[in-house]
């Protein structure tokens, strides 16, 4: 029993340290905070990921002697304790889209706090807060001035991709960095407003409207809610669903399975929805990593699509993307796998779903 609890704790640690770009989309429909911060950072699909650990999973982890705190869904007060300075929030977020805050995260590796705003039609706005040397951190950026004094603007490639950034010293030795596809002028407005926003007000005012989410489902119940039979992979042999959820947002519904793959030492998300494989593939925000960034391949008696999604991980800062694999096992039903696993493993998993 103790050994099983320890395995559960390690699975949770892996899951909780994984935020994903693709998860951003799942987040939009479920209202989850990315846990699969393997940060699983973007697709317009909303699950992640990731994707906060379910309360049931959290309870299991808490029962484990070696389990660690879930750093992907913190209160501002707890995040402030971990980083050693107050967490400030903006009073301004670009109004053109329905950005909403998903919570506060903490990255133990560099002892930084993160606040992320997601949107349905745009890439997220990331705000990183950490202690550091402003001269070192601003290297390569252009100096500018704003209401708080000196700031720095430019672009960073990883882990944000080719996004605009705005960097400044919020207080002595405490650096704030905003990364977004928004124009530099918008980032300046966000920086000007930092410290004027209230966390609870922002979160309450910007929750995605019209969504319904149900967690901790059985396969049978999830199948009933989606209206199609849900099939689980037989590979790897000891894999088991960590959480099965159903969500509907803006008329779109899906089932998300957060999978624990202990043998493969990786996280795996399986999203199931009613759609065609071609339409689903065309909705994926592909990244140029490398060219071509996605392709159609023969699979079983039909075709499948492989693709990459930009992402990074708290537990693996070198990670720059996640692999995706989607196909239509039956007409009108799409299965989409998102993981750090290589395509060869994703194909094995997909082949075992029958």
The pair of structure tokens assigned to 347 is: 């194909």
Highest mean pLDDT among 47-56, 198-207, 269-278, 306-315: 269-278
pLDDT of 114 > 80? The answer is: yes
When pLDDT is cut at 50, 70 and 90, the band that residue 107 belongs to is: confident
List the domain boundaries for the chain: 2-205, 211-351
pLDDT of 145 > 90? The answer is: yes
Q: Which residue has the higher pLDDT, 114 or 292?
A: 114
The pair of structure tokens assigned to 121 is: 């039609």
> Tell me: the pLDDT tens digits for 16-27?
444 443 443 343
**Half-sphere exposure (CA, 13 Å, Cβ side) for 43?**
33
d(CA 61, CA 108): 18
Residue with token string 């990244």: 287
> Tell me: the pLDDT tens digits for 222-237?
999 999 999 999 987 6
**In sequence order, what are the residues at sequence separation of 6 or more whose Cβ sits closer than 8 angstroms to the Cβ of residue 324?**
22, 284, 305, 306, 307, 308, 309, 336, 337, 338, 346
Share of residues in the chain with pLDDT > 90 (%): 40
When pLDDT is cut at 50, 70 and 90, the band that residue 245 belongs to is: confident
> Tell me: the pLDDT tens digits for 160-170?
456 899 999 99
The pair of structure tokens assigned to 322 is: 């996640």
Q: Which residue has the higher pLDDT, 273 or 286?
A: 273
When pLDDT is cut at 50, 70 and 90, the band that residue 37 belongs to is: very low
β-pairing verdict for 163-171 and 294-299: unpaired
Q: Looking at residues 308-320, what average pLDDT do you find?
A: 68
Question: Could you give phi then psi for residue 164, rounded to 5 degrees?
Answer: -70, 145
Q: Which residue has the higher pLDDT, 201 or 86?
A: 86
pTM for the whole thing? 0.53
Could you give the angle at which helices 55-62 and 2-16 cross, rounded to 10 degrees? 130
Which has the closest alpha carbon to 26: 268, 215, 219, 269? 269
When pLDDT is cut at 50, 70 and 90, the band that residue 38 belongs to is: very low
Q: Give bridge partners of residue 269 from the DSSP assignment.
A: 258, 338
When pLDDT is cut at 50, 70 and 90, the band that residue 175 belongs to is: very high
Q: Which residue has the higher pLDDT, 203 or 34?
A: 203
Buried b (16+ CB within 10 A) or exposed e, 81-100: ebbebebbbbbebbeeebbb
Query: What pLDDT is recorded for position 51?
Result: 35
Question: Could you give phi then psi for residue 4, rounded to 5 degrees?
Answer: -65, -40
**In sequence order, what are the residues at sequence separation of 6 or more whose Cβ sits closer than 8 angstroms to the Cβ of residue 325?**
304, 305, 306, 307, 336, 337, 343, 346, 347, 350
pLDDT of 35 > 50? The answer is: no
């Amino acid at each position: 029993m103790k050994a099983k609890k320890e395995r559960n704790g390690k699975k949770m640690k892996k899951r909780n340290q994984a935020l994903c770009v693709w998860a951003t989309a799942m987040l939009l429909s479920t209202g989850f905070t990315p846990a699969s911060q393997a940060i699983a950072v973007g697709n317009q699909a909303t699950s992640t990921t990731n994707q906060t650990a379910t309360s049931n999973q959290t309870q299991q982890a808490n029962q484990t002697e070696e389990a660690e705190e879930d750093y992907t869904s913190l209160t501002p007060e707890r995040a402030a304790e971990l980083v050693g300075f107050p967490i400030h929030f903006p009073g301004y977020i670009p109004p053109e889209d329905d950005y909403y805050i998903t919570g506060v995260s903490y990255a133990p590796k560099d002892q930084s706090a993160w606040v992320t705003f997601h949107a349905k039609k745009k890439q997220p706005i990331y705000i990183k807060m950490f202690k550091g040397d402003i001269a070192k951190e601003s290297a390569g950026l252009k100096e500018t001035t704003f209401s708080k004094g000196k700031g720095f603007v430019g672009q960073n490639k990883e882990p944000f991709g080719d996004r605009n950034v705005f960097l400044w010293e919020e207080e002595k030795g405490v650096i704030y960095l905003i990364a977004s596809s928004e124009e530099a002028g918008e980032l300046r407005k966000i920086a000007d407003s930092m410290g004027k926003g209230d966390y609870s007000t922002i979160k309450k005012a910007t929750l995605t409207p019209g969504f319904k989410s149900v967690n901790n489902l059985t396969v049978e119940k999830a199948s009933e809610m989606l209206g199609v039979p849900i099939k689980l992979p037989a590979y790897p042999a000891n894999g088991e669903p960590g959480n099965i959820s159903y969500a509907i947002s803006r008329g779109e519904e899906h089932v998300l399975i957060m999978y624990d793959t202990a043998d493969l030492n990786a996280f795996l998300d399986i999203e199931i929805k009613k759609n065609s494989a071609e339409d689903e593939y065309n909705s994926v925000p592909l990244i140029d990593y490398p060219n071509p960034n996605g392709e159609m391949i023969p699979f079983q008696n039909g075709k499948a699509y492989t693709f990459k999604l930009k992402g990074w991980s708290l537990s693996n800062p070198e990670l720059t993307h996640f692999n995706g694999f989607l196909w239509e096992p039956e007409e009108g039903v799409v299965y989409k796998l998102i993981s750090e696993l290589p395509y060869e493993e994703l194909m094995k998993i997909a082949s075992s779903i029958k």
